[in-house]
């Protein structure tokens, strides 16, 4: 089943509604993800300790099936702790989690989501005294001076495995990891003892992946200031790069913050 949210329609939504009904939540099977469906999803998420965003993705469906949150999955308590560490309102972290994260930090097979960056591998090989041109000639899909070669999802691990055979440290440093896609080469700046520790933490839980994001923001004074001041365009540019506007990251962050600010105010 795909990830669904308010306004979606289709057979998958009807199936979700049927499952929620069987679990005891009150709603009507309309095949439209309406406010009643969103309220039921939020109730389920609250009951099981998931982030209560009203969005039904793999983590919510797993909790619906088992009646509990997988310990590897992010909880609302994790977001509260992150907000405290950064000194920002909870709504700000909730907004960033909704917009900037990939929804889930793990593939269906349990491995953390990654994206291997061949242009970073070129640079990391250079930093480790290895001539990247020789590698690029043989493996252009994993080593190049330009971006690209992406295969997506689990296939990114095939690219990573090839890079590991050349230099495992440079390989791990050249991938972005987890729900917040923090690049491995930041490990030292973020306070990890080595890239292996960073990867192990990314493999452990979404809470650890969120912690990497918190460290990343805290280590960048400009990024933290933008988050505190809710200057979403500045934050999105700093976090996503100059192409942030093409994906409307700043507008999505502003909209999500308003939603969660209202929700948190009502809860208080």
User: Which spans in the chain are helix H?
Assistant: 11-22, 35-48, 58-66, 76-86, 90-100, 118-127, 132-138, 155-166, 168-173, 195-204, 206-218, 221-229, 232-240, 249-267
Give how far the C-alpha of residue 187 lies from the chain's centroid of Cα atoms, to the nearest Å: 17
The three-class DSSP label of residue 176 is strand
Q: Give the strand order in the sheet containing 182-183.
A: 114-116, 175-177, 182-183
Task: Find where tokens 């329609």 sit.
Answer: 9
The three-class DSSP label of residue 191 is coil
Smallest CA-to-CA distance from 208 within 237, 179, 228 is with 179
Report how far residue 21's alpha carbon sits from residue 36's, in angstroms, rounded to the nearest whole number: 11
Smallest CA-to-CA distance from 109 within 144, 147, 157, 151 is with 157
Per-residue pLDDT of the chain (268 residues; tens, 9 = 90+): 688 999 999 999 999 999 999 999 999 999 999 999 999 999 999 999 999 999 999 899 999 999 999 999 999 999 999 999 999 999 999 999 999 887 789 998 999 999 999 999 999 999 999 999 999 999 999 999 999 999 999 999 999 999 999 999 999 999 999 999 999 999 999 999 999 999 999 999 999 999 999 999 999 999 999 999 999 999 999 998 888 888 899 999 999 999 898 776 555 4
Is the separation of the CB atoms in 221 and 192 below 8 Å?
no
Superfamily of domain 1-70 in CATH is PGBD-like superfamily/PGBD (1.10.101.10)
């Amino acid at each position: 089943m795909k990830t669904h949210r308010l306004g979606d329609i289709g057979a998958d939504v009807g199936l979700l509604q049927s499952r929620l009904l069987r679990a005891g939540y009150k709603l009507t099977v309309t095949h439209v993800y309406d406010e009643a469906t969103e309220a039921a999803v939020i109730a389920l998420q609250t009951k099981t300790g998931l982030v209560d965003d009203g969005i039904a993705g793999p983590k919510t469906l797993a909790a619906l099936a088992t009646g509990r949150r997988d310990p590897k999955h992010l909880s609302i308590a994790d977001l509260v702790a992150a907000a405290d560490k950064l000194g920002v309102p909870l709504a700000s972290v909730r907004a960033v989690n909704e917009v900037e994260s990939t929804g889930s930090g793990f593939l269906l097979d349990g491995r953390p989501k990654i994206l291997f960056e061949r242009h970073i591998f070129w640079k990391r090989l250079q930093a480790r005294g290895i001539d990247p041109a020789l590698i690029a000639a043989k493996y252009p899909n994993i080593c190049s001076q330009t971006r690209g070669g992406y295969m997506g999802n689990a296939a990114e691990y095939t690219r990573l495995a090839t890079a590991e055979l050349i230099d495992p440290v440079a390989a791990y440093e050249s991938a972005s990891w987890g729900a917040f896609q923090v690049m491995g080469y930041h490990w030292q700046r973020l306070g990890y003892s080595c890239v292996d520790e960073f990867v192990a933490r990314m493999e452990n839980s979404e809470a650890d992946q969120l912690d990497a994001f918190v460290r990343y923001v805290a280590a960048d004074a400009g990024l933290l200031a933008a988050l505190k001041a809710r200057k979403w365009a500045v934050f999105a540019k700093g976090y996503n790069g100059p192409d942030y506007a093409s994906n409307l990251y700043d507008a999505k962050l502003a909209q999500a913050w308003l939603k969660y600010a209202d929700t948190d105010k009502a809860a208080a």
